[in-house]
Amino acid sequence: DAKTTQPPSMDCAEGRAANLPCNHSTISGNEYVYWYRQIHSQGPQYIIHGLKNNETNEMASLIITEDRKSSTLILPHATLRDTAVYYCIVRVAQSSGDKLTFGTGTRLAVRP
Amino acid sequence: GAVVSQHPSRVICKSGTSVKIECRSLDFQATTMFWYRQFPKQSLMLMATSNEGSKATYEQGVEKDKFLINHASLTLSTLTVTSAHPEDSSFYICSATARGNEQYFGPGTRLTVT
């Protein structure tokens, strides 16, 4: 799986958009970009994933650059409950037995 | 999303004893389950991958005789930490996936060995 680089920490104000970047310059053509988050002392939570098109769901939006070497996770209106460690992971398309390799992630602090 | 449970959520045991942690997929049949370990202020580290009905595949450096994994059914996997020592104290997290779907994580089990 391709290596990812994320800033160790970020903060944003409650109600504002949180934009979390991720670099994955060695991503292969068949690798997807996945985002998970982990709230303190809980298991990780799946957020979103994409291949090359931008994706949006009820939790977030994922913007992938045209060359696919970087992406941004956007939480449109951050709340205090969004304070967590966010992990960007790139991996081959889902199949039974695929494992996730977690990096150090970005610790997002949402301030009141 | 799908629900994965773990039991117990917290356990304290004495050094030298064994501890069993259960991971259940509550509303889907999990073809594969994964076990992770997370030390304080560190990321999740994969310990092993288990497929129903077959032996688990352990990551390099993880002792298979110390961390026994049983994936007896499509909804249950267990991790037994044998002869636990204080350095085994950690947050143990399982995840489950059905073929072609996402991985869903359990809430984790905090093990403290005294």
Measure A43 CA to nearest chain B CA, in Å: 4
pLDDT in tens, A85-94: 999 998 876 5
- Residue B71: CB atoms within 10 Å: 25
Is B65 in a helix, a strand, or coil? coil
Pairing of strands B19-25, B76-81: antiparallel
pLDDT in tens, A32-57: 999 999 999 899 999 999 999 999 99
A104 touches chain B (CB under 8 A): yes
Tokens of B83: 């002869």
**A104 to B102: CB separation less than 8 angstroms, yes or no:** no
pLDDT in tens, B26-71: 988 988 899 999 999 899 999 999 888 788 999 999 999 999 999 8
Tokens of B16: 């030298």
Contacts of B36 in chain A (CB under 8 A): 102
Query: B21: which residues sit within 8 A by CB, 6+ positions away?
Result: B6, B7, B8, B11, B78, B79, B80, B81, B92, B94, B109, B111
